[in-house]
Structure 1
Amino acid sequence: MPILAVRHRTVYRYRRPVSFGEHRIMFRPRDSYDQRLIEASLTIDPEPASLRWMFDVFGNCVAVATFQTRADTLTFDARITLDHTPEHAPVFPLAPHADHYPFGYGAEDMPDLARSIERQWADPRHEVDAWARSFVPGAGRIPTQDLLAAMTRSVRANFTYVARSEKGVQEPLTTLRAKRGSCRDFAVLMMEGVRALGMAARFVSGYLYNPSNDRARHVGGGSTHAWLQVYLPGAGWVEFDPTNGIVGNRDLIRVAVARDPAQAVPLSGSYFGLSSDDLGMTVDVDVVDLSDEEAPVRRNVPYLPR
């Protein structure tokens, strides 16, 4: 059970002092049975006039900051320590009726899962549907875990990861046709594929631990990371990271879950000034095992889940 330390530092820079609107911050990991929060701090410079904490509709911990000071930089510096329990060879105890696909959800779960099953993006020629169904054999039945693992690992093997600093998410059809995208693009494509098969999926924003900066093991580190969860009867919400072919929570630190990526943006806010005042933003995210003496150091990485 490694003890992981996260430092997430975001800096906005401006040509001249500007004033700031409300900022919404989602840096604090979700406390759970497989990741136990030991310590967390958040330092903001300039100091906000107020800082309040709340839980959103999904139970994510959100900080809301307001400001009265003008400044030419705005810095958010989060430091987190947590006990992380990885599932190195995850085997999910599914309910008997869900052991093989296709399966259905119970009547008691459907009211809560329905919005997570609904498709969110247009697919007029059913291209995402066809991609998702390509993982189902002609006989029509397949072990559910095998189906989802195959989809996850196919993205890792057949798509090209690119770090994108642009806001928002690519349309799943763009990602599918180009076979390239960022971690958030791959997460949304697989979410839509899973939903096309009638399963509930939701978006996850968090951090990726990459031991000794090993790009052969993982890509997408150095900034916030994104993946998805699928609801499986008997197992609950299970993690799938198509960017890295990860099934289960290994090396993944959950911060926020949401039905749509726009509901899990790690940091959002506004400033009052000219568009030319904006000199950009940088983020520095380090995730290290406190027992690892060769912890990586990253600097000046464009912000956004990549």
Structure 2
Amino acid sequence: MRFRVIHSTHYTYAARVTSCYNVANVMPRDTRRQRCLNSRVTVSPHPAVSRSRTDYFGNQAYHFEIQNAHKELVITAESEVHISDRDLDLNLDFGVSYGQALHHIRNNRSQQMLNAREYLLDSPMIEATEELAAYAQPSFIPDRSLKSCVSDLTTRIFRDFAYDPDFTTIATPLSEVLKHKRGVCQDFAHLQIGCLRAVGIPAKYVSGYIETLPPPGKEKMVGADATHAWVAYFCPDEGWLEFDPTNDTAASYQHIVTAFGRDYFDVTPLKGVIFGGGKAPMLSVSVDVSRLEDTD
């Protein structure tokens, strides 16, 4: 299935910004189930310097500098992607058990395994604590398939935690999310990653978009789709597989990946430095994911 994604970010500043230096993670990347057909980023005001590069995690990062004074900044990314159904019909009882996976992860010295083990380490926003291990443990039975264990954890997070956009901020620690059982997709992704790392399974943060569908009989509103976050975990015999704890599902053709990282800190849609701008800039974000006729 093919999609066109238009992601627009609009900042309005209280005072002039004299210059800014930014990196945007808004261009979809290629994955085992996704192919980016084309992508372009436009910035207003026009940047003095701009370039794209592949970062440490394999993402397509877009760097730009604006050296003219401005009070508004607009970044628009327009992309086309093809999504396969490769992982849509996961057989939860197939594959290595959790116990077998732990043995492979701990003892295999292949380059693939060593690369995966990097995602067992704590990262700036995720610490694999004993509390997270205790929450995850009921899902992880040594003789149970690893996919079934991860799916069970996904379902438990979905059932136990309430989606509440007013409870957390970017800086809310996982301990607070776990204590109050509230948060948003970023929090639930961080929670599941922390749980997986705490029980010995490499896991990484997935940033991207999710297509939303209108109620029956209603037209879809332009810009009504959303940025989203979910997780990928490493299975020794199948590589990286993706699950979405916010929606209790494996990643589907409606999940479009922009970036992989250790946590949100690595893959924020836009980060950088501005000089000036005053206090409390106004931010508006619009995402539109539209289906295209598949000519492949």
TM-score, normalised with respect to structure 1? 0.83
Deviation at 1:118, TM superposition (A): 2.2
Tell which deviates more after alignment, 238-247 or 167-176.
Answer: 167-176
Match of 2:136 in 1: 132
**8 Å contact 2:207–2:258 — kept in the other structure?**
yes
User: Helix, strand or coil: the match of 1:224?
Assistant: strand
Specify whether residues 19 and 91 from structure 1 end up closer, same or farther in structure 2 by C-alpha distance, changes over 3 A only: farther
**8 Å contact 1:94–1:234 — kept in the other structure?**
no
**8 Å contact 2:15–2:277 — kept in the other structure?**
no
User: Helix, strand or coil: the match of 2:58?
Assistant: coil
Deviation at 1:213, TM superposition (A): 6.4
Equivalent position to 1:254, from 250, 254, 257: 257
Give me the whole-angstrom Cα distance separating, in 1, the residues matched to 2:59 and 2:215: 28
Corresponding pairs, count: 280
Q: For residue 39 of structure 1, what is the amino acid of its counterpart? A: N
1:226 lines up with 2:229 in the alignment? yes
1:265 lines up with 2:264 in the alignment? no
Deviation at 1:14, TM superposition (A): 1.2
Q: For residue 174 of structure 2, what is the amino acid of its counterpart? A: P
Match of 1:37 in 2: 36
Deviation at 1:92, TM superposition (A): 7.5
Specify whether residues 122 and 79 from structure 1 end up closer, same or farther in structure 2 by C-alpha distance, changes over 3 A only: closer
Specify whether residues 30 and 271 from structure 1 end up closer, same or farther in structure 2 by C-alpha distance, changes over 3 A only: same
Give me the whole-angstrom Cα distance separating, in 1, the residues matched to 2:82 and 2:134: 40
Specify whether residues 256 and 102 from structure 1 end up closer, same or farther in structure 2 by C-alpha distance, changes over 3 A only: same
Unaligned runs of 5+ in 1: 215-220, 292-306
Match of 1:162 in 2: 164
Deviation at 1:97, TM superposition (A): 6.4
Match of 1:281 in 2: 283
Percent of aligned pairs sharing the same letter: 26
Match of 1:204 in 2: 206
Tell which deviates more after alignment, 115-124 or 167-176.
Answer: 115-124
Q: Deviations over 1:80-129 (max 9, x none)?
A: 111111343223897656686654322224432332112444566x2211
Q: For residue 6 of structure 1, what is the amino acid of its counterpart? A: V
Match of 1:28 in 2: 27
Residues 115-194 of structure 1 mapped to structure 2, 5 A cutoff: 115-120=118-123, 121-122=126-127, 126-137=130-141, 140-163=142-165, 168-194=170-196
Specify whether residues 161 and 136 from structure 1 end up closer, same or farther in structure 2 by C-alpha distance, changes over 3 A only: same
Equivalent position to 1:239, from 238, 242, 257: 242
RMSD: 2.5
Give me the whole-angstrom Cα distance separating, in 2, the residues matched to 1:160 and 1:280: 28
Give me the whole-angstrom Cα distance separating, in 2, the residues matched to 1:201 and 1:113: 8
Match of 2:219 in 1: none
Specify whether residues 271 and 165 from structure 1 end up closer, same or farther in structure 2 by C-alpha distance, changes over 3 A only: farther
Unaligned runs of 5+ in 2: 217-223
Q: Deviations over 1:109-155 (max 9, x none)?
A: 4432332112444566x221110102135xx4312111100111111
Match of 1:9 in 2: 8
Residues 100-111 of structure 1 mapped to structure 2, 5 A cutoff: 102-105=102-105, 106-108=108-110, 109-111=112-114
Specify whether residues 114 and 101 from structure 1 end up closer, same or farther in structure 2 by C-alpha distance, changes over 3 A only: closer
Deviation at 1:229, TM superposition (A): 0.4
Deviation at 1:45, TM superposition (A): 0.5
Give me the whole-angstrom Cα distance separating, in 1, the residues matched to 2:268 and 2:152: 28
